Every structure is written in structure tokens, then in C-alpha cells.
């Protein structure tokens, strides 16, 4: 369980860094339409994956508390 939590936190840290970079770039390039739709989809997939992991973790926590 500890290793799973460590991996999840490490992934969240990497995602947070990447999100900051992407958002800065997006704010600079969105008006010029230089930001590729595929890049936005990739970001959406990454965030969707993190959200699903968080939901699953919450369900495990709730299940353990019963």
C-alpha cells in the first residue's frame, strides 16, 4: 500500500509540473492558435486518469473504514 501511495504521489507531482508548463504555454499561444488540439487531448487524458485514480483511492479508503 505504501509503494502504491508513493507512486500515486509521484505521478501527481509530475502531472502538476506538466500542468503548470502546459497552462503557461496555453495562455501564451491560445490566441495564435499554435496550441495543437492533440496536445489538449493528451492533457485531458492525463487529468482524466488522475481523476479516476483519485476516485478509486477514495472508494478503497471508504471501504476500509466500514
Q: Is 8 exposed, middle or buried (0-12, 13-18, 19+ CB in 10 A)?
A: middle
Higher pLDDT pick, 56 / 8: 56
Residue 33: its pLDDT value, please? 63
Which domain range does residue 14 map to?
2-64
- Return the minimum-mean-pLDDT range out of 6-10, 36-40, 61-65: 36-40
User: Which 3 state secondary structure label does DSSP give 65?
Assistant: coil
Number of domains in the chain: 1
Can you give the pTM of this predicted structure? 0.58
Amino acid at each position: 500500500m505504501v509503494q502504491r501511495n508513493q507512486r500515486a504521489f509521484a505521478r501527481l507531482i509530475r502531472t502538476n509540473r506538466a500542468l503548470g508548463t502546459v497552462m503557461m504555454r496555453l495562455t501564451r499561444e491560445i490566441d495564435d492558435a499554435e496550441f495543437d488540439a492533440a496536445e489538449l487531448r493528451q492533457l485531458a487524458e492525463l487529468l482524466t486518469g488522475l481523476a479516476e485514480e483519485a476516485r478509486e483511492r477514495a472508494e478503497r479508503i471508504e471501504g476500509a473504514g466500514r
